[in-house]
Structure 1
Amino acid sequence: MKLLLIGSASVHTFRYLAGIAPHVDEIHLVTSGELPPRYHAANLGRVLQVDFSLKALATAGKIAGLIAALQPDIVHVHQANSVAWHARRALAGRKLPWLLTCWGSDVLLLPRQNRFMKHLVAANLGAASAVTSDSLHMAAVCRELAPIARMDVLNFGMDALPPTPDIAAKPLQVLSCRLHKPLYRIDSIVRAWAEVEADVRFAGWSLTVAASGEETENLQILAATLGLGRVNFTGFVAPEVLAGLYRDARVFVSVPKSDATSISLLEAMGHGCLPLLSNLPANLEWVLDGVNGAIVEDVARLGRALKTQLLRAADDAQLAEAATLNRRLVAEKGLHQPNMARFAQIYRELV
């Protein structure tokens, strides 16, 4: 099978390419930036760099030319935003099946911006031969936006389930590793941590704030202004370093305003962290409040929720019980290679 993959220059696109490559005979890529060498597959053919912005009206013609030259069996487009708009125009009039994978903000946030964006996303969804979503909630939103020919709920998954964590060896650490953007509300986590540091019961606990972004400097200033002494900003770290941060953390905190199923949540669950999450539908598909993690109803009260979970996570028996359940959930529906095989099966059925 010959696959044409179309997606923005994101680690998610590149990671998908490397994962799906063993399941197809040839894979070709249309993207908006350089493909890092680590993601090059042995059966990778053409790589076309294009501009996916709405102003780049020539992009559809470039993609159409590549399709005509390659004659792929199937096209897989990532994100129902301008990427899919260019791909949809390039595919117009062709009897060529194409799969559209939604990532989250493209259907949960973009259609709310204005009527034009809502129409664009809806048209992309309605034109695809099939659509995939990584959560039941996002799938329902897609169906509200447009009639969907076929919908599959499937995520990219974490690379592999790590060894069973040694719960007793975990230090008293909390981990935040989402991007430093307004969407992820890292500032709320820092402010909540101030309440933790002010409570003598948690004198041995520390917070690691990994990742980076446009708000990094402001977050560091905020921590200094609050006089925090047990917060470590690591910046962006390599995957193997991040794995170590998960391994050492007892609590994982992530409170974005909007989200689908995040790989970081799956990784935290796989490494035996107790998740503390914002009250979003996709999170509720993985975590039952008070059972295998916690859901905070109001981020303004995150400090109280965080302290409650620290008390729970400090108990090795309680943390081990939650970790066992979380690892089983990830093993059943959150691993990369089994899910890549499922994507490949969708390809075969569409072809």
Structure 2
Amino acid sequence: MKLLLVGSASVHTHRYLAGIAPHVSEVHLASNGPLPPRYQVPNLGRVLQVDFSLKALGTAGRLARLIDEVQPDIVHVHQANSVAWHARRALAGRKLPWVLTTWGSDVLLLPQQNALMKKMVAANLAAASAVTCDSLHMAAVCRQLAAVARMDVLNFGMDALPPPPDIAAKPLSVLSCRLHKPLYRIDAILRAWAQVEADAALAGWQLTVAASGDETANLQALAQQLGLQRVVFTGFVAPEVLAQHYRDARVFVSVPMSDATSISLLEAMGHGCLPVLSNLPANLEWVLDGVNGAIVEDLGRLGNALKTQLRQAGDNARLASAAALNRQLVQTKGLYRENMQRFAQIYRELC
């Protein structure tokens, strides 16, 4: 089976390519940036770099010529935004099955911008032979936007379930590792952390703020303004370093305005962290408030929620119980290799 993968130059696209490659005879890539050497696979064929912006009207033609050249058996497009718009036009009139994988903001936020964007996303969803998303909530949103031919709920998954954590050896550490963009509201985490530092009973805890982004300088300035003493900004770190941060953390905090099932959440759960999350439908499919983590309905209460969860996570027995449940959830439906096999099965069924 020959696959043409169409997606933005993101670690998610690159990681998917590496994971799906063993399940196909050839894989070709159309993207808007280079493929890093670490994601090169033995059966990689053509790599075409294109512009996915809406103004790049020639992109559909370039994709169509690539399809003619490589003759794929199936096309897999990632994101129902302008990436899918170009791919849909390239595929028009062809009896070639194609899968459209939605990532989150493309169906949760983009259609809300204006009627034109909503119409574009809906048309992309309706044209695909099959649509995949990583939460039941996203599946429902997709079906509200368009009559979808086939829907599969499936995430990319974390690479592998790590060894069971040594709960007693974990320091009193909290981890935030989402991008420093307004969407992820890292500023709210810092303001909540100020309440933690003001609580003498929680004096031993430290917050690690990994990743970076457009807001990094502002976030560092805010931490200074708040007088925070137990916050460490690491910037972007290598995967093995991030894995160590997960192993060290007792609590993982992530409060974006909108999100699908994030790989960072799965990694945190797999490493035995107690998640503190914003009240989003996708999060509710993984965490039951007060059982295996916390769901914060109002960010004004994030400080109190964080303090409560720190007290819970400081108890080794309670954390061990929640960690066991979280690891079982990831084992059941959140592992990379198993989920790549499920994507490959979709391809076989469509072909």
TM-score by length of 1: 1.00
2:277 counterpart SS class: strand
Aligned-partner Cα distance in 1 for 2:83–2:222:
36
Unaligned runs of 5+ in 1: none
Give the letter aligned to residue 115 of structure 1. A
Other-structure match for 2:252: 252
1:301: Cα distance to partner?
1.0
Residues 1:70 and 2:70 are matched in the alignment: yes
1:47: Cα distance to partner?
0.1
Question: CA-to-partner distance for each residue in 1:56-95, whole Å, 9 max, x for gaps?
Answer: 0000000000001111000000000000000000000000
Aligned-partner Cα distance in 2 for 1:41–1:320:
39
Aligned-partner Cα distance in 1 for 2:190–2:67:
48
Aligned-partner Cα distance in 2 for 1:201–1:24:
55
2:227 counterpart SS class: coil
Unaligned runs of 5+ in 2: none
The number of equivalent residue pairs is: 351
Other-structure match for 1:198: 198
1:17: Cα distance to partner?
0.2
Other-structure match for 1:125: 125
Give the letter aligned to residue 117 of structure 1. M
Give percent identity, aligned residues only: 81
1:300: Cα distance to partner?
1.2
1:161 counterpart SS class: coil
Other-structure match for 1:265: 265
Structure 1's consecutive aligned runs of 4 or more residues displaced over 6 angstroms after TM superposition are none
Question: CA-to-partner distance for each residue in 1:27-47, whole Å, 9 max, x for gaps?
Answer: 000000010000001000000
Other-structure match for 1:155: 155
1:114: Cα distance to partner?
0.2
Aligned-partner Cα distance in 1 for 2:331–2:42:
28
Aligned-partner Cα distance in 2 for 1:94–1:174:
51
Other-structure match for 1:220: 220
1:5: Cα distance to partner?
0.2
1:140 counterpart SS class: helix
Aligned-partner Cα distance in 1 for 2:138–2:201:
40
Aligned-partner Cα distance in 2 for 1:182–1:331:
32
Aligned-partner Cα distance in 1 for 2:337–2:199:
44
Aligned-partner Cα distance in 2 for 1:310–1:240:
25
Aligned-partner Cα distance in 1 for 2:343–2:256:
27
Aligned-partner Cα distance in 1 for 2:306–2:65:
54
Aligned-partner Cα distance in 1 for 2:301–2:332:
33
Give the letter aligned to residue 135 of structure 1. S
2:77 counterpart SS class: strand
Other-structure match for 2:332: 332
Aligned-partner Cα distance in 2 for 1:77–1:266:
23
Give the letter aligned to residue 31 of structure 2. T
Residues 1:237 and 2:237 are matched in the alignment: yes
1:100 counterpart SS class: strand
Aligned-partner Cα distance in 2 for 1:333–1:226:
40
1:8 counterpart SS class: coil
1:120: Cα distance to partner?
0.2
Residues 1:34 and 2:38 are matched in the alignment: no
TM-score by length of 2: 1.00
Give the letter aligned to residue 149 of structure 1. A
Give the letter aligned to residue 24 of structure 2. V
Other-structure match for 1:97: 97
Other-structure match for 2:284: 284
1:152 counterpart SS class: strand
1:35 counterpart SS class: coil
